[in-house]
Structure 1
């Protein structure tokens, strides 16, 4: 179980760091040396939320994406890569980060992390790092440089573990949450490729000069991409209704009549798969990642729209029509659909 304390940002966060991992070192009896000392942690505390975990509490869960990272203040956590043997577990103590690689690079968690004894930690997200950068740039610079060092060590160690064991099964594609402008631009380029070049749609979101497609929902959206061989082959965007104005979609999807709206609803838009990859796992992997992300953040209902030929496909996943057919600017005739996350979310997120 986790509890939260107000720092400068204590009023913000609905759910702070429940689940990602680090990599392992030698065995559970060995502690990783601290990345940050007590003085540096004290400097960070005014900006961060403080979160507490009871013994057994989950800080990170392998395979999920997170929008924050943690710095341990007190206690110890167990990092488990899910492989047999003590070499695949470590104990991590005060001054060390949890989930920094996934947070900074948009990767899914690579390990399960749980509290071995009562644990207190500082939670950092994009907004907090941005404010620290404005008001105390030296502190942010120091933090990012140290994170780069520890991330290199941990990534290298993970590679050694993978090479030492049996070969891991190859996945058709990797799902990432966009964490930088370069990857987000590639997602926008794929939207343009499909909407404007393949489907010959016209839209105010199209930037014909740069070959990209974007709109205001990108400003507070979570854009997931499917990568295969380093190429973006699919993308899906999620927006939490509680975090911004979703515009006319609120009415189009009949969301105002829901008891869960706006605090526990989300919308999914810009679901695009490159034509050559539409027969494959990319679409379902993107849906699974976004549904898992929604469950992490307390989403009870997820809304999307689909063309008539895909209506049964969405219904098979658990979506139900939630309004009359309408004319979508990019997709043409479409149906608004709603997913009961409490009923279907766990199954879809596997």
Structure 2
């Protein structure tokens, strides 16, 4: 069947199964309280917002044939900058001041993305090495900003980013959804998507064709930095503090998994924004499900790895052909032997 060959069929099926498990194991899967939506489903959507934002940027970077391992550190720096500046405000509930600080934090994240882009596109350093530099150094910068301490804030406007609601829906998820819609419009309704795929497919050929491959490469790293910074703001706003050690820890690996699950080729050239979003929600749902079915914390990562491996194998046409083709060939072999 054609639907079985679609790369998004198996992730969608597994997501539906996981949501079904949560529906039966959770006493509050979806409910309305005080005019807001609550429950496990809303927790999944709100918890997936930072990963969706990071994975979106990762998708664009991977589409050009690159990789960004520094997104977790950028998250930590963004949250640290915002919480440090907010903690020094006389009135932490001043909306104007908080918005200005959010802009400063995102601006810093864009500069970090620009740093990665210049190292990759202008200097010529391999993407995995260039972003590894910021991955290591950035975490140290975040700890220097916070002086190794957890900075707590009491700003209600800032907390709205992580735990607020608008029209009964979490603000964090609405921000992620807006970023997804904007990304789809820019990559599928303009020539930008084709340019990204051409650069990822063959940077040399794209340059010879007159495409500014270097500018596009720098641009995607800047966008990835900005989205990671926004994710860091949501994360720190949700816990109302800046934790430079745990903020964004290993999120780059989950982002890469989300991209792969969504059908984007790691070698560049082909990408799927919708698939990435599906992959990010699937990963968050898997995390919530592990807790819901009372799997031991020590086995959480192992269980997650097993499910991801099974999912990737189910998406592989070669693997399905070998497994199901072997079963199909057995009756034919028996008929030949009987003859």
TM-score, length of structure 1 as denominator length: 0.25
Q: Taking CA–CA contacts closer than 8 Å with sequence separation of 6 or more, which of the two structures ends up with the larger relative contact order?
A: 2
Which has more strand, going by share of residues? 1
Which has more helix, going by share of residues? 2
